[in-house]
Amino acid sequence: MPKNKPSLGYPHIEQLIDSEDFSKLNTAFEKTYHTLETLAQSKKGLKKSREALKGMKAIERVTQLLRELLEVKYRMQEAVKKEKRP
């Protein structure tokens, strides 16, 4: 019988953190970031450039958040290991 793990309401993020398989996400982020970078450097439309920079910043923040979530996961795993030790 499979053990049901409680969800915090973010199943996709939880799956990413549990599996630590970020390959698809990294590919998508790199492609999108590169496209936004090109738009940001474009001389056409100041608004497009600003919006592209905002998108790039958002990707950077999401990446940082995922790193922090992984750090929390590792700290929690370490705490559980310490509790189980005699």
- For residue 28, tell me if it sits in a domain: yes
Does residue 15 lie within any of the structural domains?
A: no
Query: Which tops the pLDDT comparison, 7 or 38?
Result: 38
Domain span including residue 33: 20-84
Number of domains in the chain: 1
pLDDT value, residue 21: 95
What is residue 24's predicted lDDT score, i.e. its pLDDT?
95
- Indicate the pTM of the whole model: 0.80
Token pair in block for residue 70 = 């992984």
Quick one: pLDDT at residue 20? 94
Q: Please give the Cα distance from 36 to 55 (Å, whole number).
A: 7
Q: What is the pLDDT of residue 1?
A: 36
| pLDDT confidence bin for 35, thresholds 50/70/90 | very high
Helix or strand run (H / E) with residue 32: helix 23-41
What is the pLDDT, as a whole number, of residue 3?
Answer: 58
How many Cα atoms occupy the beta-carbon half-sphere of 61 within 13 Å?
Answer: 6
Instruction: For the chain, report the end-to-end CA distance as a whole number of angstroms.
Output: 29
